[in-house]
Amino acid sequence: MASARELLHAQGVERTTIAEIAEAAEVPAGNVYYYFRTKDELVEAAIGAHVAGIEAMLASLDRHRSPQARLKALVRALVEQRDLVARQGCPHGSLCQELDKRDDELRARASALMALPIEWAERQFLEMGRRDARDLAVALIASYQGASLLTNTFRDRELLRREGRRLEQWIDSLA
């Protein structure tokens, strides 16, 4: 699954074959087909792995005492991926963008990659007493995704670091 996630991110869903995933995982292609009859089943499993990773990361942020600290920790966690983002874009944003061109269940499943952090951030903003929590949560994730796109476009990892600092200051201003 790790090889599938990496290749799907690096090459895109349409350009990646099961044979390439098997080669990267150092297993026979038949082994991959044993578990996943089609590439779509494999992509769906990769989406599930991404969702589990997002859920685990968001749960790990609960150790911070205040919603403001949790939101800033989220920003820092996202900014930590700046090298990967500069090379290949945001793994979740890239997958959502590619699958959005399809009109099937994979498109709908991929939307969870954006919905989970938005819903989590909304709860944090609500805990901060913000009645505009949903709008703020969408703005936070949209800002990160936009900064990720620009970081990748310009191959400028420092751009994401600067935008992360700006987002942390924005969060402080809302407290």
Q: How does residue 95 score in pLDDT terms, banded at 50, 70 and 90?
A: very high
Which domains are seen in the chain, by residue range? Answer: 46-174 (1.10.357.10)
Range 49-67 average pLDDT:
97
pLDDT at 123: 98
Using DSSP's 3-state secondary structure scheme, residue 88 falls into helix
Cα–Cα–Cα angle for 71, 74, 77, rounded to 5 degrees: 155
Predicted local confidence at residue 69, as pLDDT: 98
**Which single residue is written with the structure tokens 């996630």?**
5
> Interhelix angle for 67-79 vs 112-127, to 10°?
150
CB 17: neighbour CB atoms within 10 A?
13
Closest CA to 84 of 17, 11, 143, 10: 10
Query: Any idea how long the chain is?
Result: 175
The single-letter code of the amino acid at 99 is L
Give me the DSSP letters along 106-138: HHHHHTHHHHHHHHHHHHHHHHTT-TTHHHHHH
With cut-offs at 50, 70 and 90, classify the pLDDT of residue 35. very high
pLDDT tens digit sequence for 63-86: 999 999 999 999 999 999 999 999
For residue 147, the number of C-alpha atoms closer than 13 Å in the C-beta half-sphere is 22
pTM of the model: 0.94
For the chain, the straight-line distance linking the first and the last C-alpha, in angstroms and rounded, comes to: 40
| DSSP assignment string, 41-87 | HHHHHHHHHHHHHHHHHHHHGGGSSSHHHHHHHHHHHHHTTHHHHHH
| Residue 37, phi then psi, degrees to nearest 5 | -70, -30
